[in-house]
Each structure stands twice: as structure tokens, then as C-alpha cells.
Amino acid sequence: MATPAKTPPPAPPADDPALVAAFEARIAAGESIEPKDWMPARYRKQLTRMMAQHAHSEIVGMLPEGNWITRAPTLRRKMSLIAKVQDEAGHGLYIYCGTETLGVERDELVEQLHDGRAKYSSIFNYPTLSWADMGVIGWFVDGAAIVNQTVLAKASYGPYARAMVRICKEENFHKRQGYEICATLAKGTPAQRAMLQDAIDRFWWPSLMMFGPSDKDSPNSAELLRWRVKRKTNDELRQRFVNLTVPQAQAIGVTLPDPDLRFNEETKNWEFGEIDWAEFREVISGNGPCNRERLAARNAAHAEGAWVREAALAHAAKRHRTTEAA
Ligand code: BYC
């Protein structure tokens, strides 16, 4: 029998201008938008895109650090690293739940990650080659995440903003454990100091790329700023991160790999050199050093975990039947 042709779903109705105006007035008044509130289709779409990318980043972000759990140099370091990686799984789950409040299924988002349609943070496509990378990731990557997410904790969408409040608390611990590893290595042997400097040299520029393209090349910023999902631009947050990090590097006696770094007395900003945007574009297009490896690892983990999902569903169905019968 021939399969009947699928009728395409009807196009969503255009947003009613009066509803849009009322929504924008709420945003302007600083109100929080909650899942059951009316919102423009485009607001829902933008948030779904950004929150899903964020959740994926937390999950893929477990891989570079997970790589070092078995090789942590002491029991204390191993415990902190395990706790950090576990926290990241929690952050991913939180944000996937937040995304579900927008009416999208987690399965669908995970499928988009696994088949390469969805983006996740560029930073996790770089390899972790030494133990010092664990310190530098905590210091730079979690440091950058705090700068970005502290502002997102004031985002207009309630579930996202509330998730950020809790996540930022944990990111603070992550950053401290990373900076402490770096401070210890900085006081160590010449080989340890060289290992630390090498990690800093490899992760500095990719960390600056975490904040996204420069404002003039950021297609989503204007809309997200207007709807107060973003409260600061990519360049503003990047500058804040540089201003915070330079004195931290000076305090432990390491060098940031940028000959153009200089303090501007007038603006009180640390000015920095040109970011390699061609590299950034390559990485977010799937051609970074580890993109394929990361996706392969996530797909393999998903396939290996199929029995757990099946067992959980069977258990839930059994409990449901028992409750129904009682
Ligand atoms: N990497 O118009 P733009 C963590 C994409 S994990 C990849 O400026 P937007 C942690 C962007 O999606 C924390 N893609 O975009 C975990 C857009 O593409 P599409 C991760 C990037 O959304 C484990 C296009 O480029 N944090 O902390 O206005 C261990 C144009 O960009 C990137 C978040 O996810 C990038 N770096 O601004 C340790 C924070 N940058 O979708 C630590 C939440 C840009 O149009 N997200 N793109 O095809 C955000 O704040 C914003 O989405 C961004 C980008 C600032 C990242």
C-alpha cells in the first residue's frame, strides 16, 4: 500500500501586533517572562536556540576534562575534578529542562547535537594535552562562563535566569579549583611552569572566542538585547573577562600570549590584539581540532546508554500500572 503523502504542518500564525506590544512593554518594565505567558514566536525560537546551545556546551564540555580524571595527580585533585565534571552534567540537565518549558522535547535537541545540526561552545573542540589544561580550563573557561552567565542570570526568561543563578554558584567553585591548580604549578618546578605556560598559550585565544563574534558580526545580538535575553554585548563581556584575567595572570607570574595587551589609562581597559576570526569560523563550522572526536564520543555514549533509558522507561511504565491498579 502506498504511504499517504505527509501534509506539511500549517504555518504558525503571525504574531498579533497588540500582543507583541504588550509583551515588549513587560520586558521594558523588567518583568520576568514565564513559560505559560504569551511570547512572540521569534522570542521562543531564539531562546530555544541559545539555551539548547548552552545545554549542549555543558554536556560536550565534560569530555575534555573527563579525559584527565584517571590521571589527576592526587586524590584531592581527582575528587575536585570528578565533582566539577558531575556539576557540568547537572548544568546541562537543568538547561535542557528550561528549554523544555519552551515546548521542545529534549530528545529532539539531543538528536540535533548528535547529527551535527546544533552548535555548542567552540572552546570544547580543542584538545586537553596536559594536566595544566585542567587548571587553565577552570581559570579561563569557567571564568569566561561566569562573566557571561552572571549577566544571563538577569535574562528576561524566568527559567533560564533562575538556572543561571544556581549554575554561577557552582562555576565559582570550578574557577577557584582551576586557578588554584595554576597557582600551584606556577610555584612549581621549571617543567611544571613550562607546562602551565604552554596550556595558557593554547587556551587564551580560544577562551576569548567563547564570547562569540565581535558585535558588528553578531546577527543575533540586536534582537536578544532588545528582548533582554542578553544584557551586554559579546564585546563588552569579552572586555570584562580580559580586564579581570590580566591581574590574575600577573598575580601568579604567567604571561598571556598577546604582545598587544596594554592598559589604557583613560578607559581603564586592558586592550588586546586581533582575534583570529577565521579560526573561530572554522571551529563553529565543525572543522576544529576535535569537533569530529567530540561528536563521535557523544554518539557512542548515547548508544551505550540506550539500555539505561529503556530500563528507566520500563520501570516508569510499571510504576504507572501499579498506581493505576491501586
Ligand atoms: N561557540 O549572533 P551571535 C561552560 C554562534 S559551557 C560556538 O553572537 P548569540 C562549561 C552562535 O550560536 C558555557 N558557536 O550569537 C562547560 C550563532 O550561530 P547560529 C557555554 C558560537 O547567540 C563545561 C553565531 O555564532 N555558554 O561554561 O547572540 C566545562 C553568531 O553569533 C559561539 C553559553 O552557551 C561560540 N563560542 O551569542 C567548563 C552561554 N559564539 O545559532 C565550562 C550562552 C557564537 O545563529 N550563550 N556562536 O547558527 C550565549 O551567551 C550566546 O549564545 C553567545 C553567542 C554569546 C555564545
Is 36 a residue whose pLDDT tops 90? yes
CB distance 203 to 137 below 8 Å = yes
Backbone φ, ψ for residue 260 (5° rounding): -90, 0
Measuring from each residue's beta carbon to the nearest atom of ligand 1, which residues come in under 6 Å? 49-50, 53-54, 57-58, 61, 88, 119, 121-122, 141-142, 145, 148, 209-213, 218-221, 224, 234, 284
- 87 three-class SS: helix
- Banded model confidence at residue 181, pLDDT cuts 50, 70, 90: very high
Name the residue with the closest Cα to ligand 1, atom 33: 54
Residue 270 C-alpha cell reads as 586592558
For residue 212, the ligand 1 atom closest to its alpha carbon is 40
* pLDDT at residue 83, as a whole number: 97
CB contact set of 252 (below 8 Å; sequence gap of 6+):
179, 182, 183, 186
* pLDDT at residue 1, as a whole number: 42
What are the tens digits of pLDDT across the range 109-128?
999 999 999 999 999 999 99
Name the residue with the closest Cα to ligand 1, atom 52: 50
What are the tens digits of pLDDT across the range 251-296?
999 999 999 999 999 999 999 999 999 999 999 999 999 999 999 9
| DSSP type of residue 229 | S
pTM of the model: 0.94
Share of the chain above pLDDT 70, in %: 96
Instruction: Say how many Å lie between the CA of residue 284 and the centre of ligand 1.
Output: 10
For residue 54, the ligand 1 atom closest to its alpha carbon is 34
Residue 6 vs residue 152, higher pLDDT: 152
Instruction: Say how many Å lie between the CA of residue 238 and the centre of ligand 1.
Output: 13
What are the tens digits of pLDDT across the range 69-87?
999 999 999 999 999 999 9
The CA-atom distances, in angstroms, between 11 and each of 15, 43, 68, 195, 260 are 12, 17, 48, 56, 51
Give mean pLDDT, residues 27-55: 97
User: Looking up cell 598587544, which residue turns up?
Assistant: 260
Is 313 a residue whose pLDDT tops 90? yes
Tell me the best of 96, 124, 156, 220 to mutate to test the pocket of ligand 1, counting ligand atoms within 8 Å of each CB and taking the most: 220
Instruction: Say how many Å lie between the CA of residue 320 and the centre of ligand 1.
Output: 40
For residue 46, the ligand 1 atom closest to its alpha carbon is 22
* pLDDT at residue 326, as a whole number: 80
- Banded model confidence at residue 15, pLDDT cuts 50, 70, 90: confident
Residue 224 C-alpha cell reads as 536578544
* pLDDT at residue 160, as a whole number: 97
For the chain, the average pLDDT equals 95
Is 323 a residue whose pLDDT tops 80? yes
Give dist(CA 33, CA 61) in Å, integer: 29
For residue 213, the ligand 1 atom closest to its alpha carbon is 8
Please name the amino acid found at residue 325: A
Share of the chain above pLDDT 90, in %: 94
